Amino acid sequence: MAAVEKNSGPSHSARGNNAFDLTQAALQSRGNAKWNSYGADVLPAFVAEMDFAVADPIQQAIMRAVGKGDYGYPQYKGAKAELAVAEAFVTRMEARFGWKTQASLVQVVADLVQATFASILAFSEPGDGVILQMPAYPPFRESVASTERRLIPLSMRDDGERYVFDLAELEGRLDARTRILILCNPQNPTGRVFTRDELMALAELAIARDLIVISDEIHSDLIYGGRRHIPFASLSPGIAGRTITITSATKSFNIPGLRCGVMHFGTAELRQRFAKRIPSRLLGSGNGLGIDATVAAWTQSDAWLDEVLVHLEAARDRVIEVIRSELPQIRCHAPEGTYLAWLDFRELRLNMPAFQFFHDRAGVALSAGENFDPACAQYGRLNFATSMPILERILERLVAAARPSATLTARTSATA
């Protein structure tokens, strides 16, 4: 195989080291789940986090707090720390998406999965129906099953060009006890960024059926090809009044371990209804360092993000290029958002789940498709948020396992 030119990558916002100059040994030394869940000979492409070093403003904010020994309770400082997160969120939503809202409608939390569970508990009862796009982020499925709610699937179907949903599928499935719609936009794992028309169709359903909408928008900054994210609560005041938006800086700025996110309630009345069922102390608050990092991410780190997006789009394009040229029997649409590719391996006619096949034969750990939908054992989710050299090795291994006689033709250059 021809040598691959190393991607120069982003400047890392003035830090001397290249944020994309990564080695497997250095990544494994971090001790995180992604690089330490499997053996040293397995390349991980599963959990949704990036391998890149964080932006300088984030690192500096953390080091300032560490330097001062600032490990106190952020929620007991007159709510000043949490207010900074809420204000940063409000400013960012208007600047990036044209959505005007208020800091008083924001609740800082440690974990968005916990926020999803809490929202289901607050606005439904055991046995009530929850509409969920499938395949779905596994904790969403778990949130329905673990709270003894009833899953009403809304399929994301491949129409030959992208994954779409058809609300006609829900006919006959909805009843008076259908209470909640969980929306993930951009959608995980298919990578769809929904259009205004698609979102309006869901909004009309929510109004007609008097649904609460839990809108996970954590990947909203990670969008390609001129597409634009539309916050669901921004569609209309009527929609805002039934929408809980959950998001954080963790995906876009690579700080998931710092445990800080936000819940935005479309109206004060909606927040009050939630608070009656879920006391604030039950959810807790953001981590102190996570609060500092989130504010730095949302207010000072967009130059870093812009460079990362250029790299991610090139990585996405490389994944699609290899699949289409070397493995055309694998179906994959270029994700419009996220750094995750949803791969359909059914035409390979494997005699085992795709995850097991590529783990055992290729030494690559994908996210197992069956975790997103029990019917998707012959699918897998690939995380391409790594350096180009590591991504090339992952792709080489996938090709070699699926086509033992194949040799992947490397591109001669890799632009950021």
- Tell me: pLDDT of 11 over 70: no
- Tell me: pLDDT of 2 over 70: no
Rounded CA separation 173/49 (Å): 35
| Least confident piece of the model among 14-28, 207-221, 399-413 | 399-413
Q: Based on the fold, state whether residues 332 and 353 are members of the same structural domain.
A: yes
Domain assignment of residue 185, yes or no: yes
Number of neighbouring beta carbons within 10 Å of residue 135: 27
Residue 404: predicted pLDDT: 66
Number of neighbouring beta carbons within 10 Å of residue 210: 10
Mean pLDDT of the region 40-56: 94
- Tens of pLDDT, residues 304-323: 999 999 999 999 999 999 99
What CATH number does residue 375 fall under? 3.90.1150.10
Q: Based on the fold, state whether residues 190 and 269 are members of the same structural domain.
A: yes
Among residues 300, 318, 346, the one where a domain terminates is 300
Cα→Cα distances 358→24, 44, 170, 232, 291, Å: 19, 11, 35, 37, 38
Q: Based on the fold, state whether residues 307 and 296 are members of the same structural domain.
A: no
pLDDT bin (cut points 50, 70, 90) of residue 332 is: very high
Among residues 300, 329, 346, the one where a domain terminates is 300
Among residues 300, 324, 353, the one where a domain terminates is 300
Number of neighbouring beta carbons within 10 Å of residue 355: 23
Q: Based on the fold, state whether residues 326 and 383 are members of the same structural domain.
A: yes
Q: Based on the fold, state whether residues 223 and 360 are members of the same structural domain.
A: no
Domain assignment of residue 312, yes or no: yes
Q: Based on the fold, state whether residues 172 and 215 are members of the same structural domain.
A: yes
Q: Based on the fold, state whether residues 270 and 146 are members of the same structural domain.
A: yes
Residue 361: predicted pLDDT: 95
Domain count, the chain: 2
Q: Based on the fold, state whether residues 73 and 46 are members of the same structural domain.
A: no
Residue 10: predicted pLDDT: 46
The residues, any chain, with a CB within 8 Å of residue 78's CB and separated by 6 or more, are none
Residue 15: predicted pLDDT: 43
Q: Based on the fold, state whether residues 31 and 180 are members of the same structural domain.
A: no
Cα→Cα distances 334→187, 214, 252, 324, Å: 13, 26, 19, 11
| Least confident piece of the model among 43-47, 182-186, 279-283, 387-391 | 279-283
| Least confident piece of the model among 26-40, 235-249, 329-343, 350-364 | 26-40
Q: Based on the fold, state whether residues 273 and 349 are members of the same structural domain.
A: no
- Tens of pLDDT, residues 210-240: 999 999 999 999 999 889 999 999 999 999 9
Q: Based on the fold, state whether residues 290 and 306 are members of the same structural domain.
A: no
- Which domain does 313 fall in, by range? 24-54+302-402
pLDDT bin (cut points 50, 70, 90) of residue 112 is: very high
pLDDT bin (cut points 50, 70, 90) of residue 411 is: very low
- Tell me: pLDDT of 40 over 90: no
Q: Give φ, ψ of 339 to 5 degrees.
A: -115, 40
Q: Based on the fold, state whether residues 200 and 149 are members of the same structural domain.
A: yes
Cα→Cα distances 198→15, 201, 203, Å: 41, 5, 9
Rounded CA separation 96/229 (Å): 9
Rounded CA separation 106/261 (Å): 10
Domain assignment of residue 3, yes or no: no
Mean pLDDT of the region 315-335: 97
